[in-house]
Amino acid sequence: MGSILLLATVLFPLFAGFVGFAVKQKYIKIYAITAAFMEFVLSLTLWVALDENEGGFQMLLNLPLIPSFGVSFLLGLDGISLFLVILSTFITLVGLIGLGEMPNLKNLIISILFLEMTMVGVFVSLDLLLFYLFWELSLVPMLYIIGAWGADKRIYAAVKFFLYTFAGSVLMLVGILYFGYLYHEINGVWSFSLIDWKSFPLSYSVQLWLFGAFFLGFAIKVPMFPFHTWLPYAHGQAPTIGSVILAAVLLKMGTYGFVRFLLPLFPDASVQFLIPVAVVSVIMVIYAALIAFAQEDMKQVIAYSSISHMGIIILGTFALNIEGISGSVFFMISHGLVSGALFMLVGVIYDRRHTKMMHEFGGLASVMPRYATIFAIVLMGSVGLPLTIGFVGEFLSLMGFYKVDWLLTALAGTGIILGAVYMLRLYRKSFFGEIRKRANKNLKDLYPRELFALVPITILIIFLGVYPKAVLNPVQESVKNTLEVMSQNAQKYETKLFLEQVASKERR
């Protein structure tokens, strides 16, 4: 039953998108919200069906596609992927609720439903070629969303987004095919199943090459420094709902790939490159935070803030302990909610004034009190204020890596301070002081559709900050399973020793 439910969760947005072509223009938004709500409910039923005490894959569905080459429609779910699926369906739902009037709205909504299918597919695919198919298909609707409904430089931004991410994924495809070839050479049969691959340890030298191929594909998607230059353009030119989905979900595909594939398949290489990856992550945290501080465009501040926060997620992932990896997964979820809400909030003010520049505002708190209140709560989640969702993920990620290297952790911790500086600067310039522009005096506060989209996120930012256990428990069981696979697949004594030392520190 669980496998059928999982299949329905993947395919329902695709079915809804095709049916959407037959829906009249005036009903398309109501139809889309209804379909997105049904998809969200389906994703919640996966949570109910999941055994939270089991760290391995559940609800497995295996439908052979090309049996002679071991290609199958293999789906499965664990605590790590579950909440990313729920995040995808939830963000799609609130994004559609908050969506205002736009030209060619029907085509935009159908593109979003197709994009939702690819996002869910990425997080539950256990066949590597199927994973790659969903990964690549996600580029198509997002390319269309940016290119058709973006700002003045939308074509440049869309093409740059596509070329960067496509180039990285081609390298990953080479790695996938070579891994499948090695599996065939040793076992006499083809397989691209992650379940099979996890029980197929590779030599150290092969791990290094394959780690590089997979790592580049995921790093460009994150995006890691120095591959980050496509992201500010994409965010700056994309329509609001495009920025919301891009920041909240699509970037998480890269960090999810680190946890799901890099760590269990290439444990020796992961330990070997731990410090170099951590150094780059610290550079991301500080460098992007400083650039965010220098921005006047609100959307650019949040875009560079995302790069900075993704650095902490990667740092937690490569802590290679339960605390760090669980924190990074939780931070993926928290950043998805917070960044999605921030882009939505900037979209609110852009719809009214058609500008995102901070110097165009000032005194908004007096004319838009509900807007200012929700913005403040989301902002506190972004800077990691205790008792908000952002604090939990940041704290666990940094504490996890502190057991590996205290100096790099201390440097990364400065990103929290810098984050507070540039976000509070944005809030002060936009919401406090006198109303300097006449156009700001009669701005309307949040509309009902905007409240319906933003209030649920605001509640989750506080609730999961106070009670993160609901998410952390199933995540930690799956993280334990991942670390056990790493230890089993490690070929070098130094890797096994490192993982044992990290585990012993956690027990103490």
Instruction: List, run by run, the mean pLDDT of 10-residue segments along the chain (508 residues).
Output: 88 93 90 95 93 87 88 92 95 91 88 95 94 92 88 85 86 92 89 89 88 92 84 83 89 92 91 92 92 89 91 92 92 94 92 85 88 94 91 91 90 89 91 83 88 94 92 90 86 77 64
CB 312 within 8 Å of CB 412: yes
For residue 492, being part of any structural domain is answered with: no
* Other Cβ atoms closer than 10 A to 459: 11
- Complete DSSP assignment for 43-72: HHHHHHHS-TT--S-EEEEEEEEEGGGTEE
Q: Tokens at residue 324, please?
A: 């760090």
Predicted pLDDT of residue 47 = 93
* CA triple 139-143-149, angle to 5 deg: 145
Q: How many domains does the chain have?
A: 1
Predicted pLDDT of residue 503 = 67
Q: Tokens at residue 336, please?
A: 């998805």
- Burial zone of 445 (CB within 10 Å; 0-12 exposed, 13-18 middle, 19+ buried): middle
CA distance 450 to 124: 31
Largest CA-CA distance found in the chain, in angstroms, rounded: 74
Q: Tokens at residue 118, please?
A: 């690819």
| pTM for the model | 0.94
SS3 content of the chain, % helix, strand, coil (to 5): 80, 5, 20
User: How remote is the C-alpha of 154 from its chain's centroid?
Assistant: 22
Q: How many helices (H) and strands (E) does the chain have?
A: 24, 2
Predicted pLDDT of residue 10 = 94
* CA triple 197-201-207, angle to 5 deg: 95
- Complete DSSP assignment for 253-273: HHHHHIIIIIHHH-HHHHHHT
CA distance 73 to 187: 21
| Full residue range of the structural domain in which residue 388 is found | 275-466
Q: Looking at beta carbons, which pairs linking 129-138 to residues 24 or more positions away fall under 8 Å? A: 129/71, 129/176, 129/180, 129/192, 130/65, 130/71, 130/72, 130/73, 130/74, 130/192, 132/169, 132/172, 132/173, 132/176, 135/169, 135/172, 135/253, 136/166, 136/169, 138/250, 138/253
In the block, residue with structure tokens 């919200």 = 33
CA distance 338 to 350: 18
For residue 246, being part of any structural domain is answered with: no
CA distance 131 to 125: 5
CA distance 219 to 191: 25
* Residue 77 dihedral angles phi and psi, to the nearest 5°: -140, 145
For residue 128, being part of any structural domain is answered with: no
Contacting residues for 186 by C-beta, under 8 A, at least 6 apart: 200
For residue 85, being part of any structural domain is answered with: no
Q: Please write the tens of the pLDDT for every residue from 278-308.
A: 999 999 999 999 999 988 888 889 989 989 9
Contacting residues for 256 by C-beta, under 8 A, at least 6 apart: 80, 81, 84, 122, 123, 332
For residue 461, being part of any structural domain is answered with: yes
In order of 69, 87, 230, 393, the CA distances from 62 in angstroms are 14, 24, 36, 34
User: How remote is the C-alpha of 395 from its chain's centroid?
Assistant: 18
Q: How many residues does the chain have?
A: 508
Radius of gyration of the chain (CA): 22
For residue 196, being part of any structural domain is answered with: no
3-class SS of residue 180: helix
For residue 391, being part of any structural domain is answered with: yes
CA distance 165 to 167: 6
For residue 357, being part of any structural domain is answered with: yes
- Burial zone of 248 (CB within 10 Å; 0-12 exposed, 13-18 middle, 19+ buried): buried
Q: Where are the alpha helices (DSSP H) in 188-321?
A: 194-197, 204-221, 230-237, 240-245, 251-257, 263-265, 267-272, 274-293, 298-317
Predicted pLDDT of residue 507 = 59
